[in-house]
Amino acid sequence: MLSAIIAGCDGWEDIEFFAKARLDFFRTHLPFKNGIPSDDTLRRFFRYLDPKIFEACFVEWVKSFQINFQSKVIAIDGKTERRSFDGDSAPLHLVSAYASEVGLVLGQEKVSEKSNEITAIPKLLDILDLEGAIVTIDAMGCQYSIAEKIIEKKADYLLALKGNQSSLHDDVKLAFEHPVKTSNYEVFEEVDKGHGRFEIRTCKATSDIDWLRNSHPQWKMLNSIAEIESKRKIKGVTTCEKRYYISSLRAVPTMILSGVRQHWGIENSLHWVLDVSFGSDQSRIRKGNAPQNIAIIRKCALNLLQQVKKNWTSTSPRLSIRRARKAAGWDSNFMNIVLSTKF
């Protein structure tokens, strides 16, 4: 299954056809005395496989890489597999943890149909090793119970603020609109341009927030607040947006801006790749536990392909995830490179 998904197969029939066509290759790894299982066998197996146990195996596999996450950003965000609905059941919605700098999916948690990401995020945090990391979450996950869980895991939090924490958001916004003269504000600015876009990002941060801790005592280890202003000029049109954040980090604007930018990267490096390169939104695997289990295998494949792409030194064309999947389907040697990738 892993090899077939790496090679670009999308459905049960594709997987059976690929495996039969490449049976000689698979027999260099395992005997397959009875040949390749049928698409119906694969379908039934993954519908009944317990996804919680499978996810636990995935997390242990990732932990075996023994990657040091000290001061590295772990972004947590949700994505819906849009065509995974079956009858009256809602489509599968998963919250994933992604180590942006390393390019590694660390784990996933299903969001219950009768709940939301707020209940799924703590369960995901429970299964991860986060010590020393910086955990970033968008406004949906800006809850003091989640912040407390992150601190318990010996990590730092960097949480976006919006209307779901209206009084805290308003207080932080006011602190930047009308700063107290005795407060110290650190400022960092960076300029980014390319593809017809010119953008200036300015991060202001302060740790002089005793007044905020007193008025919101439920937020554990609240050490800084930040404002990030983005001014963009695209095709002569200028826009300006301000966003606000709370963090257990000290007020170091370079670190805070880097953490926020890496969190945005989960959309491009994980969700977008799963959708565009793996076709996750178009997949019609939808019955039983199969969508959740196949999502795990896609993330296994992506973890391996991301590392191959990162270490690609050939003089041949630049290696994209899509091109790497094709190469693995065409070339057994390349498939072996992917399967034997070290982290």
Could you write out the three-class secondary structure of 284-333? CCCCCCHHHHHHHHHHHHHHHHHHHHHCCCCCCCCCCHHHHHHHHHHCHH
Tell me the average pLDDT across 188-198.
87
Is 80 exceeded by the pLDDT of residue 84?
Answer: no
CB-CB contact of 269 with 103 (8 Å): yes
Q: Which CATH superfamily is domain 49-165+245-328 in?
A: Ribonuclease H-like superfamily/Ribonuclease H (3.30.420.10)
Number of H helices, E strands in the chain: 14, 9
Cα angle: 93, vertex 244, 177; to 5 degrees: 155
* Structure confidence by residue, pLDDT tens digits, 120-164: 999 999 999 999 999 999 999 999 999 999 999 999 999 999 877
* Structure confidence by residue, pLDDT tens digits, 286-301: 899 999 999 999 999 9
Tell me the average pLDDT across 92-113.
93
Is 70 exceeded by the pLDDT of residue 95?
Answer: yes
Could you tell me whether strands 73-80 and 134-137 are parallel, antiparallel, or unpaired per DSSP bridges?
A: parallel
The pLDDT confidence band at residue 186, using thresholds 50, 70 and 90, is: very high
Q: Which of 205, 191, 189, 192 is nearest to 256 (CA)?
A: 205
State the pLDDT at residue 315.
Answer: 61
State the pLDDT at residue 265.
Answer: 83
Could you tell me whether strands 73-80 and 93-99 are parallel, antiparallel, or unpaired per DSSP bridges?
A: antiparallel
Name the one residue in this structure whose structure tokens are 């050939």.
314
Q: Work out the burial of residue 319: count CB atoms within 10 Å of its CB; fewer than 13 is exposed, 13-18 middle, 19 or more buried.
A: middle
Tell me the average pLDDT across 3-11.
94
Instruction: Work out the widest C-alpha separation in the chain, in whole angstroms.
Output: 78
Sheet holding 104-110, edge to edge: 104-110, 93-99, 73-80, 134-137, 156-161, 237-247, 224-234, 197-206, 186-194
Q: Where are the domains of the chain?
A: 1-46, 49-165+245-328
State the pLDDT at residue 87.
Answer: 67
The pLDDT confidence band at residue 229, using thresholds 50, 70 and 90, is: very high
pTM: 0.92
Tell me the average pLDDT across 196-212.
93
Is 90 exceeded by the pLDDT of residue 86?
Answer: no
Q: Which helix (H) or strand (E) holds 222?
A: none
State the pLDDT at residue 88.
Answer: 64
Distances (CA, A) of 320 to 172, 275, 302: 41, 14, 11
State the pLDDT at residue 316.
Answer: 65
Is 80 exceeded by the pLDDT of residue 65?
Answer: yes
* Structure confidence by residue, pLDDT tens digits, 330-340: 999 999 999 99
